[in-house]
Amino acid sequence: MYQSDSEGWASSKDLRSHLGHLESELRFLSTLTGISIRNYSMKTEDLTNTEKKEKSIMKVLQRHRLSGNCRMITFQLEFQILEIQNKESLSSVITDLNIIMEPTEYSELSEFVSRAEERRDLLMFFRSLHFFVEWCEYRKRTFEHFKEKYPAAVHLPEGAASSCMAVRSTCQPGFELVIVWRVQIDEEGKVLPKLDLLPKAPQQALKLDRNRVLETAPLSFRALLGTLGIEAALESLIKSLCTADYD
C-alpha cells in the first residue's frame, strides 16, 4: 500500500521500521472503524503546461483505486484527485468518484452510494458506512438476544440479519406484533435507526377493540422508544403480549 523512493531513507532498517509503524497504525484503524483496505494503487499524470510551469503553477492528477470491506460489506473505489500547487499554496480536490458495492441485502445503501458519488464525498462514505454497519450489527445482536430469551414468542422469519422481528402469543393465537427496524442514512450522511410497529390481530378482535388499542399501538410504541430506549421498549412490548406465557 505504501509507495516511496528508498533514497530518502538512511538504511533499509529505517524503512522497515517506518513500514512496520504504518502497518501497526492501519491495523489499529481497522480495529477501530471496522474498515479494512485490501488492495490499493495510484497513478499520477502531470497536467502542467509550459506556460503554467513558467508561472510556477503545477497541476497533477492522481488516479486512485482501492478495494476493501467494512466487516460484512465489500466495496471498490475509484477516484481522482487534482492537485494544484503554486509558490504560496497547495490545493486538492476530488474530481471524480466511483463506488462499486458487492451485492448486499441492505437496500438502504444504494441511494446513499449514489449521493456520495454525486457529491464526491469520500469522508461521508467511510463515516456513514462505518456507523451503518455498527447499527446493523447491533440490530442483529438485539434480535438474537430476544429470540434466545423468548424462543416461543419471538420469530425471525428472514433471519437475525433482516429488519423484521415478529412477536406472537401462544395464549392468543392470531395476535402478532411485527417490529420493522430500518437503518436509514439521511441527506447529510447521518445514520439513524427507525423502528415501526405493525400489529396484527384476528378480524373479530379488531371489531371488539372499541378503545382503538391496536390502531394506536404504533404511536404508543414510538413514545415508548423515546422513554425507554430500543432494548427496554422491545422487552416491554414482548412481556405485554406474552405475560401469561412466561408466568
Rounded Cα–Cα distance for residues 8 and 155 (Å): 62
Query: Cβ(238)–Cβ(170) under 8 Å?
Result: no
Final residue before a domain boundary, out of 120, 142, 157: 120
Do both 104 and 139 map to the same domain? no
Rounded Cα–Cα distance for residues 208 and 215 (Å): 12
Rounded Cα–Cα distance for residues 110 and 205 (Å): 40
Query: Cβ(62)–Cβ(94) under 8 Å?
Result: no
Whether the CA torsion 43, 39, 35, 27 is positive or negative: it is: negative
pLDDT in tens, 66-99: 999 998 899 999 999 998 888 788 888 899 999 9
Rounded Cα–Cα distance for residues 86 and 45 (Å): 17
Do both 81 and 139 map to the same domain? no
Residue with cell 422469519: 157
Do both 242 and 153 map to the same domain? yes
The domain total for the chain is: 2
Task: Quickly state the pLDDT bin for 7 (edges 50, 70, 90).
Answer: very low
Task: Quickly state the pLDDT bin for 37 (edges 50, 70, 90).
Answer: confident
The amino acid that residue 119 corresponds to is R
DSSP state letter for 205: H
DSSP state letter for 184: E
pLDDT above 90 covers what percent of the chain? Answer: 48
Q: pTM of the predicted model, to two decimals?
A: 0.79
| 142 vs 161, higher pLDDT | 142
Lowest mean pLDDT among 23-37, 155-169, 205-219: 205-219
Domain carrying residue 173: 134-246
Taken as a whole, the chain contains a residue count of: 247
| 75 vs 244, higher pLDDT | 75
pLDDT reading at 195 higher than 90 = yes
Do both 85 and 176 map to the same domain? no
| 246 vs 52, higher pLDDT | 52
Rounded Cα–Cα distance for residues 77 and 98 (Å): 6
Task: Quickly state the pLDDT bin for 5 (edges 50, 70, 90).
Answer: very low
Tally of CB atoms within 10 A around 199: 19
Do both 103 and 22 map to the same domain? yes
DSSP state letter for 191: E
Do both 10 and 71 map to the same domain? yes
Residue with cell 372499541: 210
- pLDDT for residue 9: 46
Residue with cell 495510484: 42
Task: Quickly state the pLDDT bin for 225 (edges 50, 70, 90).
Answer: very high
User: Does a structural domain hold residue 127?
Assistant: no
3 state DSSP class of 134: helix
Q: Which of 124, 129, 76, 122 is nearest to 106 (CA)?
A: 129
- pLDDT for residue 12: 56
Rounded Cα–Cα distance for residues 134 and 193 (Å): 11
pLDDT in tens, 102-158: 877 787 888 999 999 999 999 899 999 999 999 999 999 999 999 999 999 999 999
The amino acid that residue 80 corresponds to is Q
